Amino acid sequence: MRISTNSTFLQGSYGVSIQQSLMSQLNVQLSTLKRVNTPSDDPVAAARILDISQSDARNSQFIANTKAAESALEFSETSLDRISNILIQMKETSVQAGNGAISDENLKQMSKVFKASLEEMVAVANSTDASGKYVFSGTRSDTPAYSMTGNWPAITITYEGNNGQKSLAISDTRSIAISEPGSSIFGEGSADAGSLFETMTRMAALLENGRTGTYPAGSYEQELATVQGGLESGLQSVLTGQASVGSRRLEAQNAGNLGEDLSLVYAKTRSNLEDLDIPKAASDLAMAQMALQASQLSFSKVQGMSLFNYI
């Protein structure tokens, strides 16, 4: 069978080219320590790596969201805890106010303490987070939750936020509210009959005016009983809100922990797909170098062959 000079050249150069390409691939793998650097290295693995990378990026965003949610809810929970402590003190004051031995003058002194506690409570309700956003204003987080205008006894407390809730996605299928509108916990303000702030302003007026004053519920004792009931209802509303916030904070924390675990799974799976077996790659490179040298030697010998050598 005749083999043309051109055919011999093509076969020889192709063999050398194949070995050079393999060496180049192995050199890239050893420099990056990655088995898969381009889709052509392993199309199936490359597609799987891309899918895992996209899933991991989405999971990383969810982890960041859970941390942000946990931080926001923890701040709200702490603020509500402060308010519940203030209310407990106010309830104790209302019990003392029922002591018939306390004079109107002493009641006025108690009123000053009560007013200071009320102002502290409004200040806590107007708390801002680390980014300067008002926590209890609903989605109107650039606006203080409550305004307090006028002077005692004509003080007016008004809710300036809305009833919306900000939320964050913590998984592909779950979003949680990270804020609690003040209106759902404290009410709309001092003009909102039966609300916490309406009850508190009535209590302040009761202590200020004493047993001889005129009150919506009738006598001093009747007004005191009404106010005490309102304080208890207000405290329960705050505690309910605090429990709701706390349960969501725990949910965000658990979701974050699951996300961290999933991130480790993604990292391990991706490593198994793309990381290089260094000893094997080094051995393959040595063998490829030997094969290349053999191909080059064979190619050069074939190229040097001619019928004229045998004449």
Whether 153 and 288 map to the same domain: the answer is no
pLDDT at position 272 is: 86
Whether 26 and 128 map to the same domain: the answer is no
Q: Is residue 75 part of a domain?
A: yes
Whether 245 and 293 map to the same domain: the answer is no
Percentage of the chain lying above the pLDDT 70 cut: 76
Q: Is residue 82 part of a domain?
A: yes
Q: Is residue 208 part of a domain?
A: yes
Whether 42 and 161 map to the same domain: the answer is no
**CB neighbours of 262 closer than 8 A, spacing ≥ 6?**
59
Whether 32 and 99 map to the same domain: the answer is no
**CB neighbours of 160 closer than 8 A, spacing ≥ 6?**
137, 140, 143, 144, 145, 146, 147
- Which domain does 12 fall in, by range? 5-53+276-310
The region, left, alpha or beta by phi > 0 then psi within -120 to 50, assigned to residue 275 is: beta
Q: Is residue 170 part of a domain?
A: yes
Q: What CATH number is given to the structural domain containing 171? A: 1.20.1330.10
Q: Over the chain, what is the mean pLDDT?
A: 83
- One digit per residue, the tens of pLDDT, for the chain of length 311 reads 444 454 544 444 544 556 556 656 666 665 666 777 788 778 898 899 899 999 999 999 999 999 999 999 999 999 999 999 999 999 999 999 999 888 989 999 999 988 999 999 999 999 999 899 999 999 999 999 999 988 877 788 999 999 999 999 999 999 999 999 999 999 887 666 678 888 988 899 889 988 887 777 778 888 899 999 999 999 999 999 999 999 999 999 999 999 999 999 999 998 888 866 666 656 665 676 665 555 555 555 555 555 444 45
Each residue of 280-293: pLDDT tens digit?
656 665 676 665 55
Number of domains in the chain: 2
What are the helix and strand counts (H, E) for the chain?
7, 4
Is the model's pTM score more than 0.85? Answer: no
